[in-house]
Amino acid sequence: MSTFAASHLSPSYPDRAAWGTAPKLRAWQQEAFDLYFRREPRDFLTVATPGAGKTTYALRIASELLSRGVIRAITIVTPTEHLKRQWADAAGKVGIGIDPEFKNSQGTTSRDYTGVAVTYAQVAMHPALHRARTEARKTLIIFDEIHHAGDAKSWGDGVKEAFEPATRRVQLTGTPFRSDDNPIPFVTYEEDGEGLKRSVADYSYGYGPALDDGVVRPVIFLAYSGEMKWRTRAGDELAATLGTPLTKDQLSQAWRAALDPKGDWIRQVMQAADRRLTEVRRGVPDAGGLVIATDHETARAYARHLRNITGEGATVVLSDDPGASKKIKQFAESQDRWLVAVRMVSEGVDIPRLCVGVYATSTSTPLFFAQAVGRFVRARKRGEMASVFLPSVPTLMGLANEMEVERDHVLNKRPPEDGLDDSLLEQANRKKDNPDVLGDELPFETMETSATFDRVLFDGGEFGTGAEVGSAEEEDFIGLPGLLEPDQVATLLRKRQSDQQAAKRKQASAEEPRERLAPHEQIAELRRELNGLVGAWNHRTGQPHGVIHADLRRTCGGPPIAQATAEQIQERIDMIRRWATQRR
């Protein structure tokens, strides 16, 4: 089930309520709440987009179950230590005492508390203890981001053993999909028409409906390409242009070179992101920015760049920092400009004032990307917009274009016919995604990098014609107002792209008398441009080049490209550019 919120409610309702304390529920929360109590189920899975307000909704259910006497205790299970404290703070604001410091060695907690908050790892270490606590009193279990229960077999087995006797279980997730076949405990799977088992949510509320309701912010993605040069361990000097078709190895190395703090690419992108943050702050004075880094060393280097750019220190949060939770909370309550984090802010952490992000990590799984972008989408008032800067990498561009796609967790997936299984490849590449954990090092030395503005992605469309960093064309998009409705964003992006294209045509026309090309040169130039656009469309859609050319010919008419006139090729160029600005 999916829903659009009742139109008579304020889209940002409740307006600026403290986290977890809203006196009334948003329309989707009320609908899910009503459905829950109509069914009175033992298990109930709610899938709601990050930023929609799952915590407020779950705590309202908990309060109602306590008042009815259905339960007498609550256990909240979270992925991280920080989220334990965040849940306890939210529960305290609605009169439910939760102990976030409960340790397995304690066995019991103070009678001042209605329940405890624990991590999935904590449960897996001593499931018998948590089972005994669950059996001792009628208990509600709230699973925050339940998909984490499938992270390891021991976690899943521990969760099942500990909480099988629970009176009620409420499962929450913003991203239920996983790349493996580990079943998620207490989640229902049903067989589809292809013989695969898919997770079934009792209530779903995706990013698309939430955006239409004003519950979450619209997100524009600003993609940057650029020239990369590096030296391999063998001493070979290589170069590539990020944003053009590359082999897998070229793309991997060019991407890592771009993120290397010793190069200019990341510094130029952070400068652009800081200019964007300044613009956003004109309408959202406390707006903050977040750089998501791959490892500890680069996080600290990025913070030094930000100090040089802004003249202010950036808050750095590392995954092994015992004071990380305190730092996140302080940043959330401050008006500081920038936070740099390694995974600590990838999921569930609530900093509503985050409006600008830099995706400066090589982690590219759909799950991580969705969680990371989820840090920027929580709406506080009507019109707030989020901006995320990222490298022009096909994987990331595809994920950005699929923001509104809802996914289920699928079991018994068949491997592709070529024998390459995505989940096995992901496991093999995990070392590269997390060098701070596994000691991976760059397989080359970065020599030189530079950034170029590529395009903007929004609502499945692509806008912009490419430009130098610091150019007027780039400023057209960096300077977008920080307060815009989704339809206003799309209208403004289309207008700015149209203006840029008109200016380029005018410039080309003015230069034509001096640089008139011979007919064969003109056709060759147009073919190169069209082939480049077809390559970019291939990366976005997965369609073979030949199929794209056939679609263009069918739409525009005319002969095959080898016999097409310059005017016919230009028509196809214009058509594929129009495709890129529309949802497809």
At 405 the pLDDT is 55
Contact 289, 339 (CB under 8 A): yes
Q: Which amino acid is at 473?
A: E
For 267, counting Cβ atoms within 10 Å of its Cβ (0-12 exposed, 13-18 middle, 19+ buried), the class is: buried
At 38 the pLDDT is 95
Q: Are residues 533 and 503 in the same domain?
A: no
Give the up-direction half-sphere exposure of residue 242: CA atoms within 13 A in the CB hemisphere. Answer: 33
Q: Are residues 236 and 124 in the same domain?
A: no
**Which among 475, 517, 477, 473 has a CA at the least distance from the CA of 493?**
477
At 308 the pLDDT is 95
Q: Are residues 192 and 324 in the same domain?
A: no
Q: Are residues 228 and 94 in the same domain?
A: no
Contact 169, 365 (CB under 8 A): no
CA-to-CA separations, 291 to 264, 317, 346, 375, 496, in angstroms, rounded: 16, 10, 11, 11, 27
At 537 the pLDDT is 77
Residue where the block lists tokens 């624990």: 118
Is 37 a member of any domain?
A: yes
Output the DSSP codes for 479-522: TS-SB--HHHHHHHHHHHHHHHHHHHHHHHHHHTTTSPPPHHHH
**Which among 183, 188, 182 has a CA at the least distance from the CA of 203?**
188
| Torsions phi, psi for 10 (to 5 deg) | -60, 130
Q: Are residues 315 and 194 in the same domain?
A: no
Q: Are residues 376 and 445 in the same domain?
A: yes
At 511 the pLDDT is 53
Contacts of 562 (CB under 8 A, 6+ apart): none
Residue 78's beta-bridge partner residues?
A: 119
The CATH code of the domain that includes 492 is 3.40.50.300
Is 362 a member of any domain?
A: yes
At 133 the pLDDT is 95
Q: Are residues 157 and 275 in the same domain?
A: no
Q: Are residues 475 and 540 in the same domain?
A: no
| 430 SS3 class | helix
Q: Are residues 131 and 253 in the same domain?
A: no
Q: Are residues 260 and 118 in the same domain?
A: no
In the chain, the number of structural domains is: 3
Q: Tell me the C-alpha distance between 329 and 47, whole Å.
A: 26
Contact 103, 121 (CB under 8 A): no
Phi/psi-derived region of residue 460, left when phi > 0, alpha when psi is between -120 and 50, beta in every other case:
left
The CATH code of the domain that includes 167 is 3.40.50.10810
Is 18 a member of any domain?
A: no
Q: Give me 325's structure tokens.
A: 């939770």
Q: What is the pTM of this model?
A: 0.69
Is 63 a member of any domain?
A: yes
Q: Give me 263's structure tokens.
A: 């190069």
Is 89 a member of any domain?
A: yes
Is 335 a member of any domain?
A: yes
- Among the candidates 205, 220, 254, a domain finishes at 205
Q: Tell me the C-alpha distance between 567 and 193, whole Å.
A: 47
Written as tens digits, the pLDDT of the chain (584 aa) is: 333 333 333 333 343 333 344 457 889 999 999 999 999 999 999 999 888 889 999 999 999 999 999 999 999 999 888 889 989 999 999 999 999 999 999 888 999 999 999 999 999 999 999 999 999 999 999 999 888 886 567 788 899 999 999 999 999 988 755 555 667 888 887 876 666 777 788 999 988 888 888 888 889 999 999 999 998 877 888 899 888 888 888 888 999 999 999 999 999 999 999 999 999 999 999 999 999 998 899 999 999 999 999 999 999 988 667 777 788 889 999 999 999 998 655 555 678 899 999 999 988 877 788 888 888 988 888 888 999 999 999 888 888 887 655 544 344 444 433 333 334 333 433 333 333 333 344 457 899 999 999 888 887 778 877 778 888 888 888 888 877 777 777 788 777 777 766 766 666 555 555 456 677 778 877 887 787 777 777 766 777 777 888 888 888 988 888 788 888 888 888 888 778 766 44
* Strands of 206-281, DSSP E: 219-232, 237-242
CA 79 to chain centre: 17
Q: Give me 390's structure tokens.
A: 């990222």
Residue where the block lists tokens 């976005």: 540
Q: Are residues 257 and 387 in the same domain?
A: yes
Is 153 a member of any domain?
A: yes
Q: Taken in order 290, 294, 298, 300, is the CA torsion positive or negative?
A: positive
Please give the residue range of the domain that contains residue 527: 519-582
Is 1 a member of any domain?
A: no
- Among the candidates 483, 507, 531, a domain finishes at 507
Q: Are residues 380 and 523 in the same domain?
A: no
- Among the candidates 205, 231, 265, a domain finishes at 205
